[in-house]
């Protein structure tokens, strides 16, 4: 049963909000975790019927294999665990988002943020493995970081990189704590609390939420 007059399509197990792009500037995205492969395919088909581009997060390789067998043209980033399908290409911004990460173990969150930002039509620069344990690596990249309109900083362990970067740039900084770390990291809680208590000016999203950081960064970058 459709609900076209209300801006969504009811496909029984989901109400697909195909006017979200027009309403908010950003389209609905599929959070794949917890959904069956059949449900994900059904949502994708509804999005395509209604002229939307498709993007999904937390998509396993097994889910992608199922989706790609039923929907032609779906791309997959195995590190980010994202799926995407572009019906209409977004116009790319002139200014760029910089994604700065502390360590290689943070790359899944970095890649999720990267793929999200690209999907939303942003130019993106990645600066990876520049954590505080070897802070000279960060200083070598400062010109690239300072050139960004907005900076996403991804860090686990104690999350110190976000405070350092925010003290060195004039652009807005969005910090993403990751669940990377030993026991007292508490699956990212230590990094989250450190970022929330930063004496530098920054904003913080949820643990491992590269998607949310990129959505907010995109809004800033496209102002």
Greatest alpha-carbon pair distance for the chain in Å reads: 59
Do 74 and 166 belong together in one domain?
A: no
Q: Are residues 78 and 139 in the same domain?
A: no
Q: What is the pLDDT of residues 25-63, one digit of tens each?
A: 888 999 999 999 999 999 999 999 988 899 999 999 999
Rounded to the nearest 5 percent, the helix, strand and coil shares of the chain are: 40, 20, 40
Q: Do 136 and 58 sit in the same domain of this protein?
A: no
Within a domain: residue 197? yes
Same domain? For 105 and 193 the reply is: yes
Same domain, 148 and 190: yes
For 60-69, the CB contacts below 8 A with 24+ separation are 60/32, 62/37, 63/32, 63/37, 66/37, 66/40, 66/41, 67/37, 67/40, 67/41
Choosing from 85, 108, 124, the residue where a domain stops is 85
| pLDDT at residue 5, rounded to an integer | 62
* Residue where a domain terminates, one of 85, 119, 140: 85
Examine the domain organization and report whether 100 and 11 are in the same domain. Answer: no
Rounded mean pLDDT of 134-147?
Answer: 96
Q: Is residue 90 assigned to a domain? A: no
What is the pLDDT confidence band of residue 3, given thresholds at 50, 70 and 90? low
Does residue 91 lie in a domain region? Answer: no
Number of domains in the chain: 2
Whether residue 88 has pLDDT greater than 90: no
Which helix (H) or strand (E) element contains residue 120? none
The mean pLDDT of the chain is 93
Per the structure, the complete domain to which residue 47 belongs is given by 4-85
Residues 162 and 216 in one domain: yes
Per-residue pLDDT, 4? 61
Query: Could you tell me if 216 and 113 lie in one domain?
Result: yes
Q: Is residue 75 part of a domain?
A: yes
Same domain, 42 and 78: yes
114 and 175 assigned to the same domain:
yes
Percent of the chain past pLDDT 90, that is, above it, reads: 82
CATH code of residue 196? 3.40.50.1970
Query: What's the angle, vertex CA 49, arms to CA 119 and CA 62, rounded to 5?
Result: 60
41 in helix, strand or coil? helix
126 and 61 part of one domain: no
Q: Domain end: 85, 106, 137, which one?
A: 85
Same domain, 141 and 48: no
């Amino acid at each position: 049963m459709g609900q076209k007059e209300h801006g969504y399509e009811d496909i029984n197990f989901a109400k697909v909000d195909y006017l979200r792009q027009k309403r908010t500037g950003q389209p609905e995205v599929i959070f794949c975790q917890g959904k069956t492969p059949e449900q994900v395919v059904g949502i994708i088909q509804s999005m395509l019927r209604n002229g939307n581009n498709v993007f999904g997060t937390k998509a396993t390789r097994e889910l992608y294999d199922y989706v790609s067998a039923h929907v032609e043209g779906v791309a997959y980033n195995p590190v980010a665990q994202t799926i995407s399908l572009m019906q209409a290409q977004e116009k790319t911004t002139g200014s760029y988002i910089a994604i700065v990460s502390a360590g290689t173990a943070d790359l899944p969150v970095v890649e999720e943020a990267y793929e999200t930002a690209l999907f939303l039509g942003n130019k993106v620069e990645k600066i990876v493995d520049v954590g505080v344990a070897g802070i000279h690596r960060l200083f070598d990249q400062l010109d690239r970081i300072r050139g960004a309109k907005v900076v996403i900083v991804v860090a686990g362990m104690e999350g110190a990189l976000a405070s350092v970067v925010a003290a060195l740039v004039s652009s807005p900084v969005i910090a993403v704590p990751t669940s990377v770390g030993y026991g007292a990291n508490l699956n990212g809680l230590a990094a989250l609390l450190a970022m929330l208590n930063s004496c530098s000016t920054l904003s913080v999203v949820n643990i491992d939420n590269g998607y949310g950081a990129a959505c907010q960064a995109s809004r800033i970058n496209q102002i």
